[in-house]
Amino acid sequence: MKIIRTITEMQQQMQTLKAEGNSIGFVPTMGFLHEGHISLMKKARQDNEIVVLSIFVNPLQFGPAEDLDAYPRDFDRDHRIAEMEGVDYIFYPTAEEMYPKNASLKVSVIERTNVLCGKSRPGHFDGVATVLIKLFNIVQPARAYFGLKDAQQVAVIEGLVADFNFPIELISLEIVREEDGLAKSSRNVYLNKQERKQAPELFKSLLLAKAALESGERSSARLIEIIKKHINDNTAGVVDYIEIYSYPELQSLEKVTGRMIIALAVKFSKARLIDNIILDVEKL
């Protein structure tokens, strides 16, 4: 496995590999890898001759009130995990390498951003789109792999790939969970013992909503009530949002129908956890 830190070397290496007929699978991350990332690497390894992992904590994704410096980092551990999963290349640039000067252009995401996490993080998905445009052009993958834990991000990336005509197949994988149902996340380390015991109730609340759907409930408002009550009764977390939309369009639904997402965010003392389920109502 090779670690590459510069854009020029990465582009040259990828161009050579593609010219030799290799398909490139790309897993973009901000590091501090967990089982969710591992599932993406495993799938990329199955699908492609070459697997590239990027590790870059993108400053453009962080708002003024968000602590970029506090984001967890452990490159040595990430390196070991990537090696065990058969990754061929780690692209590990600095912020100065990725953003060497003031940009002359700005990426602005218009659709699918004014709901869920995007509503409380203005500019966040502009930062996501900017770094992915750069990474896609640097790595030039045939396939890129993302987890549905951040389903809004996946929806935005689908729009990005379509609008800018990237010749990339997006592969999205289901949320990887702990045995008790808690979605795997780098931010779970910020939970104290009591919060860690309570955190699985988020997924349980989503399953209660799914059960209500299976019993014939079609009111978004009623489903949201079911989820909110369970979280408030069983955790000390503060609900940031519980929302229901069509997926991937992220249009509001008073009465649920078709493919939809039920998503939530809950704030604990030092961690804000997100979770979701994506369902096709017609198939329940």
In this structure, whether the domain defined by 186-274 belongs to CATH 3.30.1300.10 is answered with yes
> According to the 3-state scheme, what is the secondary structure of 168-226?
CEEEEECCCECCCCCECCHHHHHCCHHHHHHCCHHHHHHHHHHHHHHCCCCEHHHHHHH
**Residues that are catalytic:** 37
Is residue 34 part of an annotated ligand binding site?
yes
Q: Nearest CA to 272 among 59, 82, 93, 116?
A: 116
37 is in an annotated binding site: yes
pTM (2 d.p.): 0.89
d(CA 85, CA 176): 16
229 in a labelled binding site: no
Going residue by residue through the chain (284 aa), what tens digit of pLDDT does each one get? 999 999 999 999 999 999 999 999 999 999 999 898 999 999 999 999 999 999 999 999 998 878 788 888 999 999 999 999 999 999 999 999 999 988 899 999 999 998 898 888 889 999 999 999 999 999 999 999 999 999 999 999 999 999 999 999 999 999 999 999 999 887 898 999 999 999 999 999 999 999 999 999 999 999 999 999 999 999 999 999 999 999 999 999 999 999 999 999 999 999 999 999 999 999 98
Decide which of 1.20.1730.10, 3.40.190.10, 3.40.50.620, 2.102.10.10 is the CATH code for 2-173: 3.40.50.620
Nearest by Cα to 204 from 282, 284, 277: 277
**How many helices and strands, by DSSP H and E, does the chain display?**
10, 9
Where are the domains positioned within the chain? 2-173, 186-274
Check the annotation: does 35 bind a ligand.
yes
